[in-house]
Chain A
Amino acid sequence: MLENLLTYLIVFASGGLFCVIAQLLIIKTKLTPARILVIFLLSGIFLQAIGVYEPIYSVLKAGISVPIIGFGAALAKGAITYAHQFGFVGAFAGGLIQTAFGVGVAVVASFLVTLIFSPKSK
């Protein structure tokens, strides 16, 4: 129980900290959110490619996998695993295979929501 509580505390603190870094980048450097998303995504790919993402993940859990870093890491994990399994073809297919479920859900759900709701005037 106490161990779980510590995990939740780490998840909250680390996830929050990544967002604070992103927010600081917005305020200090005037980078647009899209660029910041790409920076965090690339850092996730890089961490996975050099093999340090998994050890970090085992400590931070959802604190690193829920931010976009986790999406990058999943892409790279797919590309690397499938490359080892299927060679050249796997390197191209792996990233999409690994993340296909999430992206598929996002597209289908977005389309359904668009059919049901109407855009709100701001």
Chain B
Amino acid sequence: MNETNRRNERYNEYVKSVTPSTSTLKSLLNSFWIGGLTCLIGQIIFDLYKWIFPQLDATNITNFTSMTLISVAILFTGLGFYDVIARRGGAGSFLPITGFANAISSASLEFKTEGLIFGTSVKMFSVVGPVVVNGIFWSTVAGIIHLIISGLML
């Protein structure tokens, strides 16, 4: 019994020693600059589109900006670049919309081996499902509350 305890203790120490220790401060700093940079790139793309296509309205420019961010993030996922960012970025890499795109595409890619229908198509939303479901549910609640308040209920 005593021997087992000692062995467990030694094992725990071993696990501790081989677990990569990223200091709290370093991970916070990484998520700050990676998240900040992603937002900055988004703003620069927005301003560029506004400058190139002055006839477009803000909604269209916003759409094209998110399309660019999402497409690039998904391409990076396919090429394996996004994993490199995600390993360092922590929340800085999953909180921006690029992380949302990465979560969809990496699930889609990962389950390719199980087939395009039962793998990719089924598992595509396995990570972002909670975001989509809660988003639709609570935004609908918000819409209905606004209807009730303004007295426009059918």
Contacts and interface: CB of A to CB of B under 8 A. Distances in A.
A110 B116 CA distance: 12
Contacts of B122: none
Interface string B74-109: 110111100100000111101111111100110011
Contacts, number: 256
Contacts of A49: 142, 145-146
Interface in A1-19: 4, 7-8, 11-19
Contacts of B79: 117
Interface of A: 4, 7-8, 11-27, 33-38, 40-42, 45, 48-49, 61-63, 65-68, 70-72, 75-76, 78-80, 82-84, 87-88, 90-92, 94-96, 99, 101-103, 105-107, 109-111, 113-120, 122
A75 B142 CA distance: 10
Nearest to A63: B39
B39 A12 contact: yes
Interface size class of B (residues with CB under 8 A): 35 or more
A110 B80 CA distance: 13
A95 B28 contact: no
A106 B101 contact: yes
B152 interface: yes
Contacts of A34: 127, 130-131
